[in-house]
């Protein structure tokens, strides 16, 4: 199983560390489309959404389209904060570049400037009984979500965690805490996808070098 973190800008190292703590054997940093080959799940970290739009748009490298194509083919993607904004269909008041994969409308900087950034504990049923420590850093909020979106958690300001099929998003930063439950949950999504993907390949494809390589990457 090969995990990846989009490493153009932001706290990608913290995410990689968290995935390793959850038992990921291989975590690659993705800066261009070619780095996504053989990847079974992608994390889009926290950072500045205008910067990531600039670095993925207006470039000769097809990274932007490759992420969309792989996500549409079922690869799990998890976005935190900037990653959530980048996944959203609509950003209130901004037309900046985004993947527009998730049927959500988001508000950037919904909490205000850094002095209103905060940490707290909230209940997230999908993660079990114990409360989860959520950290909002000039964070966004989800204003509305389409019918295919499952809402997992909210605070006063709005929705802060949701899932739409293979796409997971949080407005907060579990990678800054020592609680691995969100990353473990995402790893579960990736594992299901990788297993499903590998068994399909076994049945349908003759054993080309590429197929052998991708089986090996699945740990098969």
Partner 1 sequence: MVTETKEAKNSNAKTGTLLVKKALPQMLKSGVIMDVVNAEQAKIAEAAGAVAVMALERVPADIRADGGVARMSDPELIIQIKEAVSIPVMAKVRIGHFVEAQILESLGVDCIDESEVLTPADEEYHIDKSKFQIPFVCGARNLGEALRRIGEGAAMMRTKGEAGTGDVVEAVRHARTILGEIRKLTVLPKEELMTYAKNIGAPFEIILQVAETGKLPVVNFAAGGIATPADAALLMQLGVDGVFVGSGIFKSGNPQRRAEAIVKATTFYNDPAVLAEVSRNLGEPMVGRTVQSLDEKETLAKRGW
122 touching partner 1, by CB under 8 A = yes
Active site positions, annotated: 81, 173, 175
CB of 49 to partner 1, least distance (A): 8
Among 44, 55, 141, 142, binds partner 1 (CB under 8 A): 55
Binding range to partner 1, per CB under 8 A, among 7-15, 62-70, 143-151, 160-168: 7-15
Size of site (CB under 8 A) for partner 1: 41
8 touching partner 1, by CB under 8 A = yes
201 touching partner 1, by CB under 8 A = no
CB of 188 to partner 1, least distance (A): 26
129 touching partner 1, by CB under 8 A = no
CB of 19 to partner 1, least distance (A): 16
Rounded to whole angstroms, the Cα distance separating 42 from 36 reads 9
Among 39, 63, 81, 182, binds partner 1 (CB under 8 A): 81
Q: Which residue has 């965690």 as its token pair? A: 161
Among 23, 112, 146, 188, binds partner 1 (CB under 8 A): 112
3-state secondary structure the chain: CEEEEECCCCCHHHHHHHHHHCCCCEEEEECCHHHHCCCCEEEECCCCHHHHHHHHCCCCCCHHHHHHHHHHCCCCEEEECHHHHHHEEEECCECCCCCCCEEEEEECCCCCCHHHCEEEEECCHHHCCCCEEEEECCCCEEEEECCCCEEEEEECCEEEEEEECCEEEECCCHHHCCCCHHHHHHHHHHHHHHHHHHHHHHHHCCCCHHHHHHHHHHCC
Among 63, 124, 141, 155, binds partner 1 (CB under 8 A): 155
Among 28, 33, 37, 50, binds partner 1 (CB under 8 A): 50
Rounded to whole angstroms, the Cα distance separating 134 from 161 reads 10
For residues 166 to 195, the per-residue mask of contacts with partner 1, x marking binding by CB under 8 A and - elsewhere, is: -------x--x-------------------
Rounded to whole angstroms, the Cα distance separating 9 from 6 reads 8
Contact 5, 42 (CB under 8 A): yes
CB of 133 to partner 1, least distance (A): 9
Residues that bind partner 1 (CB under 8 A): 7-14, 31, 46-48, 50-51, 54-55, 81-82, 94, 108-109, 112-123, 131, 135, 137-138, 155-156, 173, 176
């Amino acid at each position: 199983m090969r995990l990846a973190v989009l490493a153009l800008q932001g706290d990608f190292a913290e995410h990689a560390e968290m995935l390793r703590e959850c038992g990921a054997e291989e975590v690659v940093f993705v800066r261009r489309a070619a780095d996504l080959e053989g990847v079974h799940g992608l994390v889009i970290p926290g950072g500045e959404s205008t910067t990531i739009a600039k670095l993925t748009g207006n470039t000769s490298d097809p990274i932007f389209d490759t992420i969309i194509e792989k996500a549409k083919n079922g690869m799990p993607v998890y976005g935190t904060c900037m990653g959530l904004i980048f996944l959203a269909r609509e950003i209130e008041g901004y037309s900046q570049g985004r993947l527009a994969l998730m049927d959500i409308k988001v508000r950037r900087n919904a909490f205000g400037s850094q002095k209103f950034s905060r940490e707290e504990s909230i209940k997230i049923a999908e993660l079990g009984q114990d409360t989860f420590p959520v950290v909002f850093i000039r964070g966004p909020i989800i204003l509305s979500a389409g019918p295919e979106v499952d809402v997992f958690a909210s605070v006063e300001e709005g929705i802060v965690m949701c899932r739409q099929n293979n796409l997971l998003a949080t407005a907060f930063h579990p990678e800054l805490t020592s609680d691995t439950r969100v990353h473990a949950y995402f790893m579960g999504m990736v594992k299901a996808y990788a297993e499903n993907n590998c068994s399909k390949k076994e049945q349908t494809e003759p054993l080309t070098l590429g197929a052998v390589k991708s089986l090996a990457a699945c740990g098969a």
